Chain A
Amino acid sequence: MAKSPEEEHPRKAFGWAARDTSGVLSPFKFSRRATGDKDVTFRVLYCGICHSDLHMLKNDWGYSTYPLVPGHEIVGVVTEVGSKVENFKIGDKVGVGCVVGACHSCNNCANNLENYCPKSIQTYGFKYHDGTITYGGYSDIMVADEHYVIRIPDNLPLDGCAPLLCAGITVYSPMKFYGLDKPGMQVGVVGLGGLGHVAVKFAKAMGVKVTVISTSPKKKKEALEKLGADSFLVSSDQDEMQAAQGKLDGIIDTVAAMHPLAPLLGLLKSNGKLVLVGAPEKPLELPVFPLIMGRKTVGGSLTGGIKETQEMIDFAAKHNITSEIEVIPMDYVNTAMERLRKADVRYRFVIDIGNTLKSN
């Protein structure tokens, strides 16, 4: 008979979990594995709230298992390392993102693309090598294989850099892969949320001119003044969109809701690239004429491999890039989820685990 979450591993752990598709989180006692030879154990200090957490809590994608402890933008301080761990020591500031395991024998793993491994193990809600379910960062400690642990440079504040572990890599990776990182390029960012606002910051640091494309005119001031975007387009404003036709080398589209692609394709120059990092559940309409007449492409991207995640964190450290966050106590999390559902956050909630997650 399967052991209970509290009993399946030798070390006590505590977090908040959802028990069903209501997605409501509440205190949850469980356990973590002992620190294996190649494992790093760390005390969690902060965990970002990703929109994927909300999707998973509600079982929007159909593969959630309960109880579910979300959280894959996790940062903290190392408390124990296994005997074969080479790159980390106690006291190091570290983070873990979306993936905690993979097969290490496929082509993708060989190319540092563990996130695309068909057997990749996500940080929460997936079956680990030992058959137990992974629990994420809305918890007091994490145990992860060294390979999947990211070193956080000293100059990055832990709370502000937590969201980079998912939001950051999710936009950084396609900007590099699709070549939208060259100084002087004109790149659009659709959606100014957790992903979008980081995309603006990365793009500016790469010397790219950024146009934010949003349905909310009230985001314009912050986009231009606080985030440094070069221009702002209200996507429902026909005249503005018309005037901007054919101006962009690429677009990073962070919107996961259903939305039309045609107007975005129109904004691209010929050979322009529209890259989707949010995944609407239903297919979108693809008008083929603009694709063909302008040799344009529509591509996708999913987070990034571990090597690239470290590269992204180091890039952020070099340019002092962090996420704009609202730090919340653990017991605010359900309210935060409600607000996130209404896109009422500038621009990422981060749970102050270290100071507010208390088991009674």
Chain B
Amino acid sequence: MAKSPEEEHPQKAFGWAARDSSGVLSPFHFSRRENGEEDVTIKILYCGVCHSDLHIVKNDWGFTRFPVVPGHEIVGVVTKTGKNVKKFKVGDRVGVGVLVGSCKKCDSCQQDLENYCPQVIFTYNSLYHDGTITYGGYSDAVVVEERYVLRFPDNLPPDAGAPLLCAGITVYSPMKYYGMTEPGKHLGVAGLGGLGHVAVKFGKAFGLRVTVISTSPKKEDEAINRLGADAFLVSSDPAKMKVAMGTMDYIIDTVSAVHALAPLLGLLKLNGKLVTLGLPDKPLELPIFPLVLGRKLVGGSDVGGMKETQEMLDFCAEHGITADIELIRMENVNMAMERLAKSDVRYRFVIDVANSLSQ
């Protein structure tokens, strides 16, 4: 008979979990595995609230196993290291993102693309090698294999830097892969939320001209004056959209709801690239004529491998890039989820785990 979450592992753990698709989170006693030879144990300081966490607790995608402890933007401190661990020592500040395991043998793993491994293990809601479910960062501590732990740069604030572990790499990786790094080119960022606001910052750091594309006119002031975007395009304004047609080299589309691709494709120049990163629960409509007539493409991307995630963190440390966050206490997480569902956050909630998670 399957052991209960509290009994399945030898180390006591505590966090907040959702028990059903109402998505309401509440205190949850469970357990963590013994720190193995390749593992580090991390006391969690901060954990970002990713929109994927909301999708998962509501079971929007249909594959949630309850109870689920979300959280894959984790920053903490190493408290224990296994005897084969080489990269970390006790006291190091570290991060854990979206993955905690992979097969290590396939082409993707061999190319430092563990995120595309067909047997990738996610930080929460995944089956680990030992057959138990992974629990994420809305908790006091986590045990992770060294390979999947990031060194967190000293000069990055641990709270504002936490969202980089998912939001950051989710936009950084495709910007590099799809070549959105040529200075002077024009990048559109659709959706100004957790992903979008970081994409604007990366875009400026790469020397691009950045236009934010959004349905909310009230985001314009911050987009331009605080985040440094060069222009702001209200996508529901047909006249403005028409003028902007054929002006962008690339678009990072961070919108997670079902939305129309045709207007975004129209904004691209010849050979333009639209990279879509949000995970809507239904397919999108793709008009083919604009792709053929303009040799355009639509691509996807899913976080990044460990090597690239480290590269991204180091890039952020070098350029002073962090997320714009609202720090919350653990007990306010349900309210945060409700606000997130209404896009009412500038631009990521981060849970102050160490200071507010108490039994």
In the assembled complex, the CB of B254 is this many whole angstroms from the nearest CB of chain A, namely: 12
Choose one: B174, B279, B289; the contact of A288 (CB below 8 Å): B279
Q: How far is the CA of A287 from the CA of B61 in the complex (A)?
A: 13
B296 CB–A CB distance under 8 Å: yes
Known A276-B291, A286-B261, A288-B280: A293·B286 in contact at CB below 8 Å? no
User: Which residue from chain A places its CB closest to the CB of B120 in the assembled complex?
Assistant: A293
A295 CB–B CB distance under 8 Å: yes
Residues of A within 8 A of B297 (CB): 273, 297-300
Among B286, B287, B296, max chain A CB count under 10 A is at B286
Query: Across the interface, do A297 and B292 meet the contact criterion of CB distance under 8 Å?
Result: no
Total A-B Cβ pairs within 8 A: 108
Residues of B within 8 A of A291 (CB): 276, 298-300
Residues of B within 8 A of A177 (CB): 295
B302 CB–A CB distance under 8 Å: yes
B285 CB–A CB distance under 8 Å: yes
Q: How far is the CA of A280 from the CA of B291 in the complex (A)?
A: 11
Known A292-B279, A292-B302, A293-B302: A270·B108 in contact at CB below 8 Å? yes
Q: How far is the CA of A296 from the CA of B178 in the complex (A)?
A: 11
A285 CB–B CB distance under 8 Å: yes
Query: Across the interface, do B113 and A284 meet the contact criterion of CB distance under 8 Å?
Result: no
Query: Across the interface, do B299 and A279 meet the contact criterion of CB distance under 8 Å?
Result: no
Query: Across the interface, do A300 and B294 meet the contact criterion of CB distance under 8 Å?
Result: yes
B2 CB–A CB distance under 8 Å: no
In the assembled complex, the CB of A306 is this many whole angstroms from the nearest CB of chain B, namely: 16
Q: How far is the CA of A174 from the CA of B286 in the complex (A)?
A: 19
Choose one: B261, B276, B300; the contact of A293 (CB below 8 Å): B300
Q: How far is the CA of A296 from the CA of B177 in the complex (A)?
A: 11
Q: How far is the CA of A284 from the CA of B283 in the complex (A)?
A: 9
The B-contacting residues of A in range 142-176, CB under 8 angstroms, are 174
Q: How far is the CA of A302 from the CA of B291 in the complex (A)?
A: 9
Residues of A within 8 A of B284 (CB): 285-286, 288
B241 CB–A CB distance under 8 Å: no
Instruction: Describe B's contact surface by its main secondary structure.
Output: mixed
B243 CB–A CB distance under 8 Å: no
B239 CB–A CB distance under 8 Å: no
Among B108, B283, B295, max chain A CB count under 10 A is at B295
Among B276, B283, B296, max chain A CB count under 10 A is at B283
Q: How far is the CA of A301 from the CA of B291 in the complex (A)?
A: 7
Query: Across the interface, do B301 and A292 meet the contact criterion of CB distance under 8 Å?
Result: yes
A277 CB–B CB distance under 8 Å: yes
Query: Across the interface, do A285 and B283 meet the contact criterion of CB distance under 8 Å?
Result: yes
Residues of B within 8 A of A277 (CB): 292
B244 CB–A CB distance under 8 Å: no
Residues of A within 8 A of B298 (CB): 286, 291, 297-299
Q: How far is the CA of A211 from the CA of B345 in the complex (A)?
A: 49
Query: Across the interface, do B262 and A295 meet the contact criterion of CB distance under 8 Å?
Result: no
A210 CB–B CB distance under 8 Å: no
B232 CB–A CB distance under 8 Å: no
Q: What are the 3 A-B residue pairs with the smallest beta carbon separation, nearest first?
A: A300-B291, A291-B300, A299-B297
**Can you list 7 A-B contacts (CB < 8 A)?**
A270-B116, A285-B285, A288-B284, A291-B276, A292-B277, A297-B298, A299-B295
Binding site for B on A (CB under 8 A): 107-108, 113, 116, 174, 177, 246, 261-262, 270-271, 273, 276-277, 279-281, 283-302
